[in-house]
Amino acid sequence: MSTIAWSWTYFWTVVLCDAYLVDILRVPLRYISMFLNTLTPKFYVALTGTSSLISGLILIFEWWYFRKYGTSFIEQVSVSHLRPLLGGVDNSSPTNSNSSNGDADSNRQSVSECKVWRNPLNLFRGAEYNRYTWVTGREPLTYYDMNLSAQDHQTFFTCDSDHLRPADAIMQKAWRERNPQARISAAHESLELEDCATASILLAEEEATTIVEAEKLFKQALKTGEGCYRRSQQLQHHGAQYEAQHRRDTNVLVYIKRRLAMCSRKLGRTREAVKMLRDLMKEFPLLSMFNIHENLLESLLELQNYADVQAVLAKYDDISLPKSATICYTAALLKARAVSDKFSPEAASRRGLSTAEMNAVEAIHRAVEFNPHVPKYLLEMKSLILPPEHILKRGDSEAIAYAFFHLQHWKRVEGALNLLHCTWEGTFRMIPYPLEKGHLFYPYPICTETADRELLPMFHEVSVYPKKELPFFILFTAGLCSFTAMLALLTHQFPELMGVFAKAVSLLGLLCSALFWPCTCSVLVGC
């Protein structure tokens, strides 16, 4: 009985409130109706047209921002600025504190996943990168990439005892200089005091305009570097200072010898380059961080010495060692070489794949899963640019660096690119979505796009995998723009009819607001 009584009370309260509001709003509604009657069809055309124009401009800006930065501008502003103002984040809450710690941990994990590596086949700045700039007027290297190189040089070519020798002290400052001319001038000043291996390295890298000039300077650096290495080797156990100096001299010597081998490779003396790289790997077997085997693989492929390539892969394509595009795609190339000259997709669809063909396809799928950006460069579906000095494994930068040097090797193997073209897209049917776990490798990192945008120049369109779905606000503004444009068109074609429709919708909206407001208030009071 109490429920029935409460229901009747609620019903009559709502009716009386509605009647009271209608009586109160009778005069304002009359004025609003008179105002709407004074509006001409041209006003509605202008209104809908302006709305369509504004929403179209917002759509264009949102799309440009998404293509450049990979996120929605409205969403980013809402999350970064409006949400804290509206009380979306409570620092006093332990739950939010734990979640913020979790976000920080995930950010640190993301950074560790996106470790940037030195490109083993990086070009010479003076003889190659600068010549590209002179011809095209474009900068092939980003500030972020060059800054990473400066950090590498300070790590490998300096030590705490450099202040004891004037030439090394000058070079210690030179590696920190941002201005290339200041670095070159400091290197010349260091050489005027005494023979300095690192000064010759800097001049070979940045001042030499040809590979021949760079090779001469590296040979000069080699003579000085070997003397420093022998002296520090005898004193390395006399204290921590001598040990650090020996480690620096070792890094300098390895760097010089590898760059000399690369000069020989670029000048067509490939067998000499192979011998130098093999000797370097035997002399310093523990310095795997330089990835000298990737230089060796490229030189052996140029000689078409596939047996030795397979021997190198057998040593380095191991489950305990970090993979690279060079390792995975070279293994796929060797497997494809055995069947690619006779491979036909029509014949394979009729009779099925043979064991050798299945092995080749699986090797291609493995390589594509590791780095899905490479096939478009090998198949020349995307234009190549000069590779950066640093690469992100499994990223677009690594794909560019690999394809830049290895495209010719794929072209040399008859039918290899045809086999790649027929099979590489099948990889994506095997990889789980949304990539919560990998098929053959660990899940694909989500931070590659951001790192590649820092490493690659602005004029290059960064390849993104997996493709990001369009943000909600782009879809919303696209729908809003289309809807207002349609209204503008209809208002222009049928001004009288659309004017009546607009007045009816406005009055209906006001009446609905007036009717539903008491219901809302009574419900809130009842609660």
Alpha-carbon span 433 to 446, nearest angstrom:
13
Supply the pTM of this predicted model: 0.70
Q: pLDDT tens digits, residue range 455-469?
A: 999 888 888 775 655
| Residues written for the chain | 527
More confidently predicted of 91 and 120: 120
> What is the secondary structure of 31-63 as a DSSP string?
HHHHHHHH--HHHHHHHHHHHHHHHHHHHHHHH
Alpha-carbon span 491 to 365, nearest angstrom:
56
Q: pLDDT tens digits, residue range 137-180?
A: 899 999 999 999 999 888 888 887 777 788 888 988 888 888 98
Q: pLDDT tens digits, residue range 77-107?
A: 666 665 565 554 444 444 444 444 444 444 4
Strands (E), 439-495: none
Opening angle at CA 354, ends 349 and 358, nearest 5: 90
Distances in whole angstroms, Cα of residue 475 to Cα of each of 55, 75, 76, 180, 469: 11, 12, 16, 47, 10
* Residue 60: CB atoms within 10 Å: 12
Q: pLDDT tens digits, residue range 329-380?
A: 999 999 998 888 787 777 767 777 778 888 888 888 888 888 889 999 999 9
Q: What is the largest CA-CA distance in the chain?
A: 107
